[in-house]
Chain A
Amino acid sequence: MYAYAFKRLLHIIPVAIGVSIFCFLLIHIAPGDPLAAILPSDATAEFQAQMRTLYGFDKPLIVQYGLWAMRALQGDLGLSIATGRSVSGEIASAAVNSIILAVAATFIGFTLGALLGFMAGFLRGTWVDRLASSLSILGVCVPHYWLGMVLVVIFSVTLGWLPATGGGPGGSAGRAFDWAYFRYLLLPAITMSVIPMGIIARTVRSLVSDVMAQDFVQTLSAKGQMAPRIIRHVIRNAAPTALSVMGLQLGYLLGGSILIETVFSWPGTGFLLNGAIFTRDLPLLQGTILVLAMFFVSLNLIVDLLQGIIDPRIQRS
């Protein structure tokens, strides 16, 4: 197990380097000047050149990358061009909000998704299967941006029950896990949970159906085992793949969503990225993308290790 974990850990290094180069270049090959958004539009060429020097954008790309990567290794992702605030601090503060939203969406999406999927797979071909499958397809198909707006129109504008935007009654700074705060969390969390719910439901349904069709399940039934015992075996066999899909979905949720966080003005990493894109705030964009990418890579690693624990055959392969 340790050798497997070490081998998987080593795989992360080239991925991390690749991700860092990719996100650095991706931003630099995009058209436009990083200082364009912060300088007055009629700033003279001379003044622009002065500011470019001051911010270090006059150096060759490879030097800029080297300096950035060295600092990033020490946990310093630099300062935002637009605000001058520490990028690490900005990401940390936004990540907390995204994690809270992701946990809420995970709770809703995974619970409903697993339940619907299991019921559909276990009772395949019945009306329960058709209903659960329809719901899961709907979850995958409905654009969450649109769904978010519809929920806002119904629950905020028309009924006035829940707030339409924001990260808490006084912003996320005064966060207290009470009803006043959860009111703000509810709509974005429901919106965010819909796609993972659909994907997980469809995956679990397919897995459970496959397992149910296997010989050992029929043998268990033939031996007179009761449904709860069969269910336990089915779950154990379906779990590794389901877990892998859940891990990817969790990464997707934890990464925040630009669309959902923008629709609800939820101050997470998606909202942060959206602002950084519009202000062409390169250090903030690079830092946020890098952190999110590494987060995703780490999560995949954890899922792989968990799969190895649940199913030792994976380690051997």
Chain B
Amino acid sequence: MKRSILTGLLSVVAAQALMVSTVLGAGTLRIGMTLSDIPLTTGQTDQGGEGQRFVGFTLYDSLVEWDLSASDKPSVLVPGLAKSWAVDAADKTKWIFKLRENVKFHDGSAFDAAAVVWNLDKLLKNDAPQFDPRQSAQGKSRIPAVASYKVIDPLTVEISTKTPDATLPYQLAWILLSSPANWEKLGKSWDAVAQKPSGTGPWKMENGFKPRERAELTANKTYWDTARVPKLDKLVLVPLPEANARVAALRSGEVDWIEAPAPDAAASLKSAGFVISTNAYPHNWTWHFSRVEGSPWNDIRVRKAANLAVDREGEKELLGGMMIPATGFFPPGHQWFGNPTFKLTRDVEAAKKLMAEAGYGPGKRMQTTVLISPSGSGQMIPLPMNEYIQQNLSEIGIDIKFEVADWNTVINIWRAGAKDPSAKGVTAMNYSYFIQDPFTGFIRHLQCDLAPPAGTNWGYYCDKDMDALFEKVRNTFDAADQDKVLQKVHEKYVDEALFLMVTHDVNARALSKQVKGFVQPQNWFLDFSQVTIQ
């Protein structure tokens, strides 16, 4: 009797398991995101790089896009909805964007120059009927160069910048274009659009959207870029903010892919047959030095000594191998890396010598305070990582005290600047940076006139030569030549040890072995078109 009850129960469980797998179908990829909600679906996404990764470049396109097709080379800009662009030879503030023909939004309406202007108004023109504060909050600050824009003809748009600015294509790569006709059709309501969005991207969201729980994207089989028509039928996005819940969901087969598995879970996932996918991408984890008067980091010998004291291999061990030790401000192999002469190796004796030259020694140890957070976006595991650096620096006579604040407070102090009372006199702060384009990668950190409150040059660094290089970046309109200038910038960053350069995250994700065809590019964003489930 007992045996028959047990057999019956097992049959029910097996039938359920079979039913669940049948319902999913063969072409469904289920992803456990680290986010606690589905990112904004109306166009310009929220929730940072992950929001843009999963909802931005899946449902939408931008005029200029990132090449996400290769894992073995740095990601560069490629034509998106604009098939070409050029700056006016006579007036370097005028750009002409030639748009792609025969592109349709998911609702069937045509993409054209008027749609581009409508979308820019959506973000920049407060009195436009379609102006959306939520999307503006995400998009406006990404395109600071844009002064005006107009339709030249149905497939040509002119965009003017405030001053000559060759970084405009990088800025526009942030801007996602939603359908004006869909917004009209849905009663001019962005809330309604959130439920039924319409872009031109390789994925559509037709139904299956439940805020905070899941979003189901279906393949856009008529996508304009035939090489990027998704091979899967469906992409299911599930918010799983708790790291252990993500691992459990993957191991129990509820999702096929999780973002950011905890470093201590990686080994067990690998041994259970899961694939840990990593790659370099434009992220860094640094100490941003204050350069205000009285900061000990104003002395290049101290900055170099600190960089020579850090045991980056030890940090790597601490993170279970899931990091790339810094050899510069950008990851090694990046197109803007150049050839810095200062090598970020661990050399305690050389570091001590530099400290002695700077006037420090056993009788006069350097003492200073650094702002850190216990956790935060891109911060990896900041407490043990910073404590390890504290030990390293102690070896060369630098005594570090930590001022610990929650991540949002750290962001506010970063915006307010090192001189602000909220910084409580710290002389450095641990920050993790998104460094994907010339502005986010270099300019915003160190340009003289971007010191707070105008920008986020937190440490009030100001150097005429660096400013001249930034100006040259903005005025070099040939992409290859611009890369060379950016290399010079990076060399100056490293050779003058302008930051404590520690590590780069590797954008880890764990995949079930059924996931095939995934290429992890050296970029914050991903292309799911080639992915299949076997």
Binary flags per residue of A267-298, CB closer than 8 Å to B gives 1, else 0: 10001101100111000000000000000000
Kindly list chain B residues whose C-beta atoms are within 8 Å of the C-beta of A165.
238, 240, 245, 248-249, 254
Kindly list chain A residues whose C-beta atoms are within 8 Å of the C-beta of B40.
83-84
Bound-state Cα–Cα, A172 to B211, Å = 10
Q: Which of A6-14, A35-43, A120-128, A301-309 has 4 or more CB atoms under 8 Å from chain B? A: A35-43
Q: Which of A134-142, A200-208, A214-222, A257-265 has 4 or more CB atoms under 8 Å from chain B? A: A257-265
Number of A-B contacts (CB under 8 A): 158
Within 8 A of B (CB), among A240-270: 262-265, 267
Closest to B272 in A: A157
Kindly list chain B residues whose C-beta atoms are within 8 Å of the C-beta of A38.
46, 134, 137-138
Q: Which of A44-52, A67-75, A191-199 has 4 or more CB atoms under 8 Å from chain B? A: A44-52
Asked whether B141 lies within 8 Å of A173 as measured between CB atoms, the reply is no
Choose one: A37, A90, A157, A166; the contact of B251 (CB below 8 Å): A157
Does any Cβ of B come within 8 Å of A160's Cβ? Answer: yes
Bound-state Cα–Cα, A42 to B458, Å = 11
Asked whether B252 lies within 8 Å of A156 as measured between CB atoms, the reply is yes
Does any Cβ of B come within 8 Å of A82's Cβ? Answer: yes
Supposing A157-B252, A163-B252, A166-B213 touch, asked if A262 and B452 sit within 8 A by C-beta, the answer is no
Choose one: B212, B214, B440, B456; the contact of A275 (CB below 8 Å): B212
Asked whether B245 lies within 8 Å of A32 as measured between CB atoms, the reply is no
Q: Which of B10-18, B76-84, B101-109 has 4 or more CB atoms under 8 Å from chain A? A: B10-18
Within 8 A of A (CB), among B1-44: 12-13, 16-17, 19-20, 23, 36-37, 40
Q: Identify whether the interface residues of B are mostly helix, strand, loop, or mixed.
A: helix
Bound-state Cα–Cα, A165 to B249, Å = 6
Kindly list chain A residues whose C-beta atoms are within 8 Å of the C-beta of B411.
32, 36, 41
Asked whether B412 lies within 8 Å of A32 as measured between CB atoms, the reply is yes
Q: Which of B196-204, B355-363, B402-410 has 4 or more CB atoms under 8 Å from chain A? A: B402-410
Does any Cβ of A come within 8 Å of B133's Cβ? Answer: yes
Does any Cβ of A come within 8 Å of B444's Cβ? Answer: yes
Does any Cβ of A come within 8 Å of B289's Cβ? Answer: no
Asked whether A169 lies within 8 Å of B245 as measured between CB atoms, the reply is no
Supposing A267-B213, A271-B212 touch, asked if A44 and B238 sit within 8 A by C-beta, the answer is no
Within 8 A of A (CB), among B211-266: 211-214, 238-242, 244-245, 248-249, 251-254
Bound-state Cα–Cα, A278 to B141, Å = 22
Closest to B133 in A: A54
Asked whether B248 lies within 8 Å of A164 as measured between CB atoms, the reply is yes
CB distance from A43 to the nearest CB of B (A): 4
Closest to A280 in B: B408
Asked whether B252 lies within 8 Å of A164 as measured between CB atoms, the reply is yes
Does any Cβ of B come within 8 Å of A85's Cβ? Answer: yes
Supposing A36-B411, A161-B13 touch, asked if A166 and B238 sit within 8 A by C-beta, the answer is yes
CB distance from A212 to the nearest CB of B (A): 38
Supposing A41-B414, A157-B248 touch, asked if A272 and B452 sit within 8 A by C-beta, the answer is no
Bound-state Cα–Cα, A283 to B210, Å = 20
Kindly list chain B residues whose C-beta atoms are within 8 Å of the C-beta of A263.
242, 244-245
Kindly list chain B residues whose C-beta atoms are within 8 Å of the C-beta of A262.
241-242, 245
Bound-state Cα–Cα, A180 to B13, Å = 10
CB distance from A111 to the nearest CB of B (A): 22
Asked whether A164 lies within 8 Å of B249 as measured between CB atoms, the reply is yes
Closest to B41 in A: A83
Does any Cβ of B come within 8 Å of A224's Cβ? Answer: no
Does any Cβ of A come within 8 Å of B332's Cβ? Answer: no
Does any Cβ of A come within 8 Å of B191's Cβ? Answer: yes
Does any Cβ of B come within 8 Å of A95's Cβ? Answer: no
Asked whether A265 lies within 8 Å of B242 as measured between CB atoms, the reply is yes
Asked whether B36 lies within 8 Å of A279 as measured between CB atoms, the reply is yes
Does any Cβ of A come within 8 Å of B155's Cβ? Answer: no
Does any Cβ of A come within 8 Å of B142's Cβ? Answer: yes
Does any Cβ of A come within 8 Å of B318's Cβ? Answer: no
Does any Cβ of B come within 8 Å of A58's Cβ? Answer: no
CB distance from A71 to the nearest CB of B (A): 18
Asked whether A170 lies within 8 Å of B214 as measured between CB atoms, the reply is yes
Choose one: A31, A32, A39, A265; the contact of B239 (CB below 8 Å): A265
CB distance from B210 to the nearest CB of A (A): 4
Does any Cβ of B come within 8 Å of A113's Cβ? Answer: no
Kindly list chain B residues whose C-beta atoms are within 8 Å of the C-beta of A164.
245, 248-249, 251-252, 254
Asked whether B194 lies within 8 Å of A36 as measured between CB atoms, the reply is no
CB distance from B49 to the nearest CB of A (A): 10
Kindly list chain A residues whose C-beta atoms are within 8 Å of the C-beta of B211.
83, 85, 90, 93
Asked whether B213 lies within 8 Å of A42 as measured between CB atoms, the reply is no
Choose one: B36, B248, B414; the contact of A156 (CB below 8 Å): B248
Asked whether A42 lies within 8 Å of B440 as measured between CB atoms, the reply is yes
Within 8 A of B (CB), among A16-48: 31-33, 35-48
10 A/B residue pairs, CB under 8 Å, sorted by A:
A33-B412, A36-B412, A82-B37, A83-B211, A157-B251, A166-B213, A170-B208, A180-B20, A265-B239, A275-B37
Residues of B bordering A, CB below 8 Å = 12-13, 16-17, 19-20, 23, 36-37, 40, 46, 48, 133-134, 137-138, 140-142, 144, 190-191, 194, 208, 210-214, 238-242, 244-245, 248-249, 251-254, 405-406, 408-409, 411-412, 414-415, 440, 444, 452-456
Residues of A bordering B, CB below 8 Å = 31-33, 35-48, 51, 54-55, 82-85, 90, 93-94, 149, 152-153, 156-157, 160-161, 163-167, 169-173, 179-180, 183, 262-265, 267, 271-272, 274-275, 278-280
Beyond A31-B409, A161-B13, A263-B242, list 13 extra A-B contacts (CB 8 Å). A31-B408, A32-B409, A32-B412, A35-B137, A40-B48, A157-B248, A163-B252, A164-B251, A166-B238, A173-B210, A267-B210, A267-B212, A272-B212
